[in-house]
Every structure is written in structure tokens, then in C-alpha cells.
Chain A
Amino acid sequence: MDMLASKAKQIGELAYTRESVHADAEVREVAARFEQTADLDAIAVVAGKKDFGLVVRSRLTSTLGRQFGYALYARKPIRLLAERDVLACDVRQDPVQVITTAVHREPERIYDDIVLTDAGGYYGLVSMRLLMAHSKDLLIQSMAEVGVLVQRNRTLDELNRLQGEFVANMTHELRAPLNTMLGVADLLASDPAIPEVRRRDVRMLLKRGRDLLGIVNNFLEMHRIEAGDVEPDFEPVEVRSLLDDCLDAASYLSDGRPIDLHREYQELPPQIVTDPVLLRRVLTNLLSNAVKFTDRGSVTLLAHGAGSELTIRVRDTGLGIGAEDLPNLFRKFGQLQATKTKRHSGTGLGLAIVKNLVALLGGRSEVRSEVGVGSEFTVHLPLSHSNEVAK
């Protein structure tokens, strides 16, 4: 057997054992086999023609070595301990390709034997340990690279997680004083003891304060989405009133710019099964964007039910988005370079949040746009979830 991977044409030539045990064999027989054959790193467990798994020596030893481990498993069939999620490849595959795949497995599994198959059935095993010993050049180089990358990747993941947590804590802390400040500003803005000119100033504070709260909320929301903390809570929701509420809320954002807000509902189902909190957040984001980027003209909220879907569109006659910007639109921090102006500040998180929330609701989102004409964001949502049927 030539162990030099570089000389072998097919991975099959590198097989070091063709042994296997039947899935019904007792665990103690397999343990005995490992004891007798020191070279064996693993044994294939075969249950049927194309049905096989792998028992790895090191993990079997550790399982049986635990308290009561041997007593518990000795007379049980080995199928209980066989791992089915193994790297398997056809004997005719290119050795270099297979070994590259093998060294890219999770670090704990890199030393597991590779299972060879012939016509889908078990053929033999390739030992990573023997490859290590005999084909150092190829392997050590790959392993070193993988090791460095794995380590770097872990560091980056950890850094990313810490940063996310920091932002989340920070923004949560920012929210409490901001809420009170906005409450006080709201009181002042309607206080008849204060002259109207000054009250206008306070309304400005209130507006900018709400913008700030929106930014803070978006950061928190994005963090929660990325941490997998957002779980939709489905219930029957009255669509019309939810849509109306969102549109009413958006009307306050126009700041006196000449924008007409329209609604066009067609064949609206009375109820759909969805998460009202998340859907409201989606629509609020889309509508506030539409109002923000429209100087004059209109913003229209369209909704119609068809088949098992509710389609909601937010159409504006605003700046529009260039074709080159469309692919990045739903990405985090993807605020457009081409159309970005100082006047339209933002976190660039809104649409990334929309896309993620719509997906959590079981729907999909899309956009059509033309520079100088306007944009149309569409959200397709299922009318119901699981077994429930909205009628």
C-alpha cells in the first residue's frame, strides 16, 4: 500500500482496512477488536447494503470509560454507538480532493477515518493518522492553514458576539432616559403656558428625540435578530386595523412636506395568522422610509389577498434607487452610496430588519425602483401558519 497521497490516483488505493462489523454485533466484541488490533482507529458498522456508520476508537473508549459505561453498553448492539454523520466518498475519487475535504471538517473530527464506498456500499477506511505519518507535506501544510483559520474564525466570532452584546446593553440603557425625556417633551409641546414659538422648538426636540429612539431600537432589534432571540408569536390578527394604524403613524413623519398618504385595499381577508408586533415593525420601517425619502408626491399602502397569500406594498414617488444599489439594499448597513445625502441620515439597518422579520413570519420581500420615479417594496405573507386556516 502506497501511503503517499500524491502518488495515488484514486482514494481507494489508500484504504488501510476493509474490515467491518455488523450493526447487531455487541459493543464488547468491537471493544475487543480494538484491543487486539492496535492500528485500527475506527471500525465501520454495516447494517445493510448502503447503510453504514463508523465507530471511532477514541470516542468509544471514552464512552465505555465513563462510570457504568462498559456495564451499560457491553451487551448492547454496536449500532447504538455508531456515528452516521461520517465523511464518505467513492473509492474512485481524487485523493487530494478528499483529503482537503477531510482536513476542513470540524477540528474535533479531523482525525476521524474516511469511509470509502463502492457503488454506494461500504468498501474500506482511510486512516487520517496514517496519512499524517506518511504524507506529511500535503497534510501538515493543510492542517496548519486550517488550524490558523479555525482559530482566527473563533476569535472573530467571539469578538462579534461581544460587540453585539455591548451594543445591545448600551442601547437598552440609552432607552430608559430617552423615554422619560420624550415624555417630558410631549408635555411641554402641548403646554398652553408656553408661547407657540417655543412650543415649536419643543416639537423639534420631540421629533429628533423620536428619531433617536428609532435608531436605538433598530440597533437593539438587529442584535436580537442576529442572536436568534426573535421568535414570532403567531395569532389571528385583524389586518385592516393594523394597516390603518401603521399608515396613521407614518403620517406624522412628513414634517409638512406635501406628501399624500393613500391606502388601497383589495379582497383583504378579515384576519391573518401572524405576529402583529413583528408585522407592525416591518410596515413601520417601510412606511417611515418611504416618507423619509419622498419630498413631494405620495406614499401608498396597498394590500390584497390572493390565494393563500397577503401581499402588502409600500409605493412612493421618492428619490428611487439605482440598479447598482438594489443588490445591497437589504444588507445590514447597506445605506445607499449613490443616493445618500446628508439630509437622509439613518443607520442602514431598517431594510435588513425588514427582510429578516418577514422571513421569520414565513414570507418574502422584494423591491422595484427607478431613480427619480420612486420605489415599491413588496411583502408577501402567508395567510395562516401550520394547521390553522384563516377564513
Chain B
Amino acid sequence: MNASKTVVIIDDDVLVLETARRLLERDGLRVFVYSEGYDATNFAARHRPDLVLMDVNMPFLSGDSMASLFKRHEQLSAVPLVLFSSNEEGALRRMAREIGANGYICKSEMGAGFSARIMGMLEPRDRPSEA
């Protein structure tokens, strides 16, 4: 069902990129990896991926400035942005909310349910959470 979905991963740690890429490809996603933000932003603006997974602690262009760039950019503002970090979860959640990201994933989930989480985020949200 998600076979044609495209995910862009941005992380300056090549080993993380490679592992995350293979975990998602195993579950049938098309994955493009970038070790810095500029090329990734250009790619995302042209190809409108279904999700961008972005490390928050990157040199040059930090995750939060990237996020605000995304939100202001005409072609990028609709692309779901998910923060990716080994930071402590509470802080990551707060950051995601502050910069208007669509979600967050802790890097510690790479060994447990990582692609399932991403798949969940790619599902169309047709069921609004109603109490």
C-alpha cells in the first residue's frame, strides 16, 4: 500500500542514514538520503516526498532553522516533517511542537518498530481522534 511512498532522510551521521534507509526500504518505501539540508531542501521542493525525516542536531543548518524554512516555502509547506534525534524524548516532543513539525521519532526506535512508526505516519489521517 505504501509501495510508492517516498521518504527523504536528512542526517549528518552516514551510518544512521544507511541503517534508516535500509529499514524503510525493507518495508517497501522509496528512500532518498541527504547528509545536509540544502540539497535535501532542493530535492524536496522539486519532488514533494510524502515525508521528510530530519535530524535536529546538524552542523551548518540546524534542524529547527530547516523546519522554519520548510514551513515558509511554498512547495515545502505541505510536506510532512518529522524530527529525528537521539535527544531526550520530552525535549524532542517540545521542539516538534514549537517549530510546527508533524511529529518526532527517537533514534532509539531504530532497533524497535522504526519503520512501523514511519508507516503509521504515512497513513492517511481519515480518522480524527475523537474522544
Distance between Cα atoms of A231 and B86 in the complex (Å):
18
- A180 engages B110 (CB within 8 Å): yes
- Please name all residues of chain A whose beta carbon is closer than 8 Å to the beta carbon of B110 when the two chains form the complex: 179-180, 182-183, 186
Give CA–CA (A271, B130) in the complex, Å. Answer: 10
Can you report 5 A-B residue pairs in the complex whose CB atoms are below 8 A from each other? A186-B23, A186-B111, A186-B112, A213-B111, A217-B108
B15 at the A/B interface (Cβ < 8 Å)? yes
B20 is contacted by which of A183, A190, A231 (Cβ under 8 Å)? A183
Chain A CB within 10 Å, residue with most, of B13, B88, B93, B94:
B88
Contacts of A220 in B (CB 8 A): 88
Contacts of B4 in A (CB 8 A): none
The answer to whether A230 and B90 have CB atoms under 8 Å apart is: yes
Q: Are A184 and B19 interface neighbours, CB within 8 A?
A: yes
Residue of A nearest to B93 (CB): A277
Flag whether B131 is at the interface (Cβ < 8 A). Answer: yes
A contacts, CB < 8 Å to B:
172, 175-176, 178-187, 190, 206, 209-210, 213, 217, 220, 224, 230-231, 233, 236, 238, 270-271, 275, 277-278
The residues of A that contact B23 with a CB separation of less than 8 Å are 183, 186-187
Contact with B90, one of A180, A182, A186, A278 (Cβ below 8 angstroms) = A278
Chain B residues 98-127 with CB under 8 Å of chain A are: 107-108, 110-112, 114
Contact of A275 among B13, B22, B86, B90 (CB under 8 A): B90
Please determine whether B107 and A179 come into contact, CB atoms closer than 8 angstroms: yes
**Chain B interface, >50% SS class:** helix
Tell me the count of chain B residues lying within 8 A, CB to CB, of chain A.
Answer: 22
- Nearest residue (CB) in B for A271 is B131
The residue on A at minimum CB distance from B19 is A183
Contacts of B93 in A (CB 8 A): 233, 277
Among A182, A206, A220, A236, max chain B CB count under 10 A is at A182
Q: Is B39 an interface residue (CB 8 A)?
A: no
What residues on B are CB-neighbors of A217 within 8 Å? 108
Give the distance to chain A from B63, nearest Cβ to Cβ, in Å. 16
Q: Does B131 lie within 8 Å of A180, measured CB to CB?
A: no
Besides the contacts A179-B107, A183-B23, A210-B112, what 8 more A-B pairs have beta carbons closer than 8 Å?
A176-B107, A179-B86, A180-B19, A184-B19, A186-B114, A233-B93, A238-B129, A275-B90
How long is the Cα–Cα vector from A178 to B23 in the complex, in angstroms?
Answer: 16
Query: Within the complex, which residue of B15, B94, B111, B131 is in contact with A238, where a contact is CB–CB below 8 Å?
Result: B131
Chain B residues in 8 Å Cβ range of A210: 111-112
Q: Given the known A-B contacts A176-B107, A224-B88, are A182 and B112 also in contact in the complex, defined by CB atoms under 8 Å?
A: yes
B53 to chain A, nearest CB (A): 13
List of B residues within 8 angstroms of A270 by Cβ:
131
Known A179-B86, A277-B90; judge A187-B22 contact (CB<8 A): yes
For residue A359, give the distance in angstroms from its CB to the closest CB of chain B.
Answer: 16
Q: Does B26 contact A (CB under 8 A)?
A: yes
B110 nearest CB neighbor, chain A only: A183
Q: Chain A residues near B131: list those with CB within 8 A.
A: 236, 238, 270-271
- Given A176-B86, A209-B111, A278-B90: A190 in contact with B19 (beta carbons within 8 A): no
Contacts of B22 in A (CB 8 A): 187
CB distance from B96 to the nearest CB of A (A): 11
Measured CA separation A236–B129 after assembly (Å): 12
The reply on B31 being an interface residue by CB < 8 A is: no
Q: Find B89's partner among A176, A213, A277 (CB 8 Å cutoff).
A: A277
Minimal Cβ-Cβ distance residue in A for B16? A180
Whether A179 contacts B90 by the Cβ 8 Å rule is no
On whether the beta carbons of B94 and A233 are closer than 8 Å, the reply is yes
Is the Cβ of A176 less than 8 Å from the Cβ of B90?
no
CB distance from A275 to the nearest CB of B (A): 7
* Contacting residues, chain B, for A185 (C-beta < 8 A): 111
A278 to B88, CA, bound (A): 11
Once the chains are docked, how many angstroms separate the CA of A187 from the CA of B19? 8
- A190 and B26 within 8 A (CB): yes
Closest to A241 in B: B129
Q: Which residue of B lies closest to A172 (CB)?
A: B86
Q: Name the residue of chain B whose CB is nearest to the CB of A182.
A: B111
Most B CB contacts (10 A, CB to CB) among A180, A184, A230 go to A180
